[in-house]
Amino acid sequence: MAWSKLKQNLESFLCPALYGRVEYRATSYRYLLDKAGICYIAVDKKNVLNMSDATNPIRWYQTEQDIKNDPDIQIPINSEEIEAVRKDTKGTVPEDRLKVIARNRKIQVHAKELLAAQSTLSKSNFIVVATKFLASSIEESIESDDILLNVLALVDRRVGKKRILNMRDKMKQKHPIVQYFYELRVSTS
């Protein structure tokens, strides 16, 4: 699909409050046939999401430790996870330590998932992912581990105000760029 048609399709699904604020942009290299263009998302005329640019205003994680030490990421733990740790340690660990161990285990899994999603995003082709977004349901895009699909779904008009507000807890565990677009959408609702 040509870029102009793809851009038109994506913009037709934008939430009315974000129309004109969120823009899909692309640069191309006219004389370099082997050089692909760069696609990015701008909010209020500022480049916010450019997958290949490390100078984005949104934090990109370099290591698992960055994620573990980020105070903005809140990982809730439940009683089953604490019970699993108790079983693994054969009941020899104090109760308060069980919570810490369970949380650390969950953070480690979350960090690996987040880094995998981030590295996939940096290698992904915006046009391919946007075409996939247009062809799939909005539920698939919201539930996906793909950061770009999450972003496109969050600015979509098919996601209503009530659904956006019900996603708050889920968004705390997402990448900062997804959280940014979530907060942008909440602020316009």
Q: Bridge partners of 22? A: 19, 43
Are 41 and 23 in contact, with CB atoms under 8 Å apart?
Answer: yes
pLDDT of residue 124: 57
pLDDT by residue (tens digit) across 37-63? Answer: 567 788 898 888 776 555 555 566 677
Could you give the CA distance from residue 51 to residue 37 in angstroms, rounded to a whole number?
12
Write the CB contacts of 79 (distance below 8 Å, at least 6 apart in sequence): none
Segment 100-148, tens digit of pLDDT: 888 888 888 877 777 776 666 655 577 888 889 999 999 999 988 888 8
Contacts of residue 165, defined as CB under 8 A and 6 or more positions apart, other chains included, come to 186, 189
Q: Tokens for 50, please give them.
A: 């450019």
This prediction's pTM: 0.69
Both tokens of 91, joined, read 């009941």
> What pLDDT is attached to residue 186?
93
Whole-number Å distance between alpha carbons of 28 and 20? 22
Please give the Cα distance from 99 to 85 (Å, whole number).
Answer: 8
C-alpha Rg value of the chain to the nearest Å: 19
* pLDDT tens, residue by residue, 81-92: 888 888 888 888
The tokens of 147 are what?
């950061």
**Contact between residue 44 and residue 21 where contact means Cβ atoms under 8 Å apart:** yes
Strand partners, 25: 40
Single-letter residue type at 116: A
